[in-house]
Amino acid sequence: MEPPSALSQRGSVHWQGFLLAASLLNFWSPSTTAKLTLELMLPNAAEGKDVLFLVHNRPGNTAQYAWYKGGRVDSRHQIASYLINTQRTVIGPAYSGRETVYSNGSLLVQKVTLNDTGNYTLRAINIPFRTAEVTGQLRVYPELPKPNVVSNNSNPVEHKDPVVFTCEPETQDTTYLWLINSQSVIQNSPTLELSKDNRTLMLLHVTRNDTGPYECESRNPVSASRSEPLYLNVSSGKSSPGSFLWNLAGIVIGVLVGVVLAAALGCFLFLRRTRRPWSLQQLHLPGPPTWPQNSRSHL
């Protein structure tokens, strides 16, 4: 018979081996409690597109998937639920007719609108009535129209007139960029100032160097569009010798024409005031010939 010490040592080795095997088994076994997750196939969607919420790590023995609009489970905002055993869909108060819940729990939203922006919550219920929940966020943006540059003065005078450019129209969640002579305007300068939202560009001290095309570009996560160029013409405010001579000649010609017209009008009025009626006596016209009374008897 073996001594008690030997038995004790063997038992110790046996338990140590069991604990080591259990530790290795726990280390190598994959986790059976993976967290339910969502993958939004189009997190930033353009208005009118279709969006799919794809479900990953679904719990085993799932009996029902239920979708809610918002960041929590609320029966008042339930979109729809899918019953796996009966393969039946039950719609809720938040159902719009554009949502579809599939047998794997995924949610399809067709032709999304700006009002669809927000959180969506999925609740999965398994056979032992355990629940798992996950929330995803959808952002919907409009397709931006082509912008237009508007100016308060397209022909300013150098060192005199400030000029303000505005990028129209104004839309939410939009980034505005400016280009002068195809070069991007990034920050303010001593002669240039941008508004906080970059939608307005102001030229504080206009010079000849500011002449050229001005463009604005609008962007959001789903689209971008650039305006047609608006050309700025900057004048010096000083007349050249040639233009001065032409202006002087125009003034002289205008004065001469005025004098001639005034003289003609004066003559006409003078003649009209001095005109008198004419008669035959005043003209001393000869009358008809007179014949002697006895002229016939002589004949």
Going by C-alpha positions, the residue among 150, 138, 147 that lies closest to residue 174 is 147
* Token duo for residue 233: 């013409």
Distance CA 134, CA 138 (A): 14
Question: What's the pLDDT score for residue 18?
Answer: 30
Distance CA 252, CA 256 (A): 6
* Token duo for residue 50: 């279709």
Going by C-alpha positions, the residue among 230, 223, 142 that lies closest to residue 181 is 230
Question: What's the pLDDT score for residue 235?
Answer: 83
Question: What's the pLDDT score for residue 213?
Answer: 94
Question: What's the pLDDT score for residue 261?
Answer: 77
Question: What's the pLDDT score for residue 16?
Answer: 35
Amino acid at 61: N
Residue 147 DSSP code: P
Distance CA 276, CA 271 (A): 10
Question: What's the pLDDT score for residue 69?
Answer: 97
Intervals of the chain under pLDDT 50: 1-32, 240, 242-243, 278-283, 285, 295-299
Amino acid at 131: T
Question: What's the pLDDT score for residue 60?
Answer: 84
Distance CA 196, CA 49 (A): 31
The sign one gets for the Cα dihedral 211, 169, 200, 180 is negative
